[in-house]
Amino acid sequence: MTIKQPTSPMARPYTQQAPPTLSTLPINPVTSPAPPTSPPIDTIIEQIVSATAVVYCEGNFACLDGKTANGLVRSSERYQILSVIDSEKAGLDSGMVLDDVPNAIPICRNLADSLAQAEAIPDYFIFGMAPSSGLLSSAERGVVLEAIAMGMNVVNGLHEFLNDDSEFVAASTASNVVLLDVRRPRAKKDLRLFSGRIDEVSCPRIAVLGTDGAIGKRTTATILTRALNARGIKAVMVGTGQTGLIQGAKYGIALDAIPSQFCSGEMEAAIVEAFEGEDPDIIIIEGQGALSHPAYLSSTFILRGSRPDAIVLQHAPGRAHRCDFETMPMPTPASEIHLLETFADARVIGLTLNHENMSDAEVSEAISHYEEELGIPATDALTRSPDRLVEMVSRAFPEIEEKLSVRAQ
């Protein structure tokens, strides 16, 4: 296989994770809650009908740390995104910047510019970045306070909780708005330990894992879920990170914010809730990080808590080293598969590619190469037909193949 020299992910555009815009997933809408009269302490995001939002992503839109903004621009079941704030790309269409396809969501210079283009004050200000520190800078604090003063509720996906900050609480109380800390876990007394109830989940469970962070696991999981639903297979996706929850995942947790003692139990509980609430034909689980990555442990808890029957592995052949770790080379798919199948009682049923830094011809060559080397189907979820993803599943699970056949008649 001839693939050009892998490129550092630190410098690349984050343009490889664009799910289809039409969702076939069911949405359970409820009206937005009225602003509270007491200091707002809100830890659970509720489904909102057509709530408008602007997304703050200064200096990071279409980059790795802007993955929350990127994901929301491409797919959001909960919010109508009016604009993105990033002075470095102001005046451009966000769809053109990400995918060379216009979407009529403008990129604005600052909050004032964003509000000038809106017909009314947006309902929500979403902090659309996911820095490794998980903290706000002093400049970012100022922008969030400005949004609060304008009467906008704030959605925050960082590890720094706004509801724990007296300045933000006082400002939100004065403006009668809500602060949503997406990553805040349940109170410790309410956290669930692993119970073994995962064995009651009788439908297949597939985890979409990867060889690195920010590699497209959530996007592939979203596309696979939608493709199955579009073909009459009731699929439910369980989110495990802040971006998926902000986008509108009905079931899930921000796994990296939960004390480790409870991670497996909370993961198990989210799967059981999805199973009992939806009676699905199959459950798709969003992955986090990579099992082989020394900086992240989320994959271990996903595997232990959800006990998947199968795994789809996401890999970026054109990536030279792990995100944020320039001295750490990327693992091969073969080594990651060996680790996964040794660690968990699950088989890897397919490989999906992130096509960053690759031409279409190189993607085709990589697909052929990996299928021959690994003996499993391979595809690119974004540039190839979703039928390939569905085939991975139906080939691994005869009951799904049978249902597909019956519904195709």
Q: For residues 359 and 334, is the Cβ–Cβ distance under 8 A?
A: no
**Intervals of the chain under pLDDT 50:** 3, 8-49
Whole-number Cα distances in Å, 272 to 90, 182, 196, 277 = 44, 21, 10, 8
- pLDDT confidence of residue 1: 59
Residues ≥6 apart with Cβ < 8 Å to 311: 206, 207, 208, 209, 340, 344, 346, 347, 348, 349
Q: How far apart are CA 409 and CA 401, in angstroms?
A: 13
Q: How far apart are CA 135 and CA 47, in angstroms?
A: 26
Q: 3-class SS at 114?
A: helix
Residues ≥6 apart with Cβ < 8 Å to 98: 13, 14, 15, 18, 62, 70, 73, 74
Q: pTM value?
A: 0.86
Residue 273 burial (CB < 10 Å; 0-12/13-18/19+)? Answer: middle
Q: 3-class SS at 82?
A: strand
Q: How far apart are CA 71 and CA 126, in angstroms?
A: 12
For 368, the token pair is 């052929």
Helices (H), 78-209: 94-99, 111-116, 138-149, 166-175
Q: Which amino acid is at 28?
A: N
- pLDDT confidence of residue 133: 81
Q: How far apart are CA 17 and CA 306, in angstroms?
A: 24
Q: What is the dihedral of CA 264, 288, 95, 177, to 10 degrees?
A: 40
Whole-number Cα distances in Å, 311 to 210, 253, 288 = 10, 19, 13
Q: Are strands 179-181 and 251-252 parallel, antiparallel or unpaired?
A: unpaired
Locate the DSSP E strands across 173-252: 179-181, 205-210, 235-239, 251-252
Q: How far apart are CA 62 and CA 42, in angstroms?
A: 29
DSSP structure string for 377-407: -EE-TTTS-THHHHHHHHHH-HHHHHHHHHH
HSE toward the beta carbon, residue 297, CA cutoff 13 A = 11
Closest C-alpha among 268, 129, 279 to residue 198: 268
Query: Residue 375's CB: how many other CB atoms inside 10 A?
Result: 7
Q: For residues 315 and 354, is the Cβ–Cβ distance under 8 A?
A: yes
DSSP run (H or E) holding 84: strand 79-85
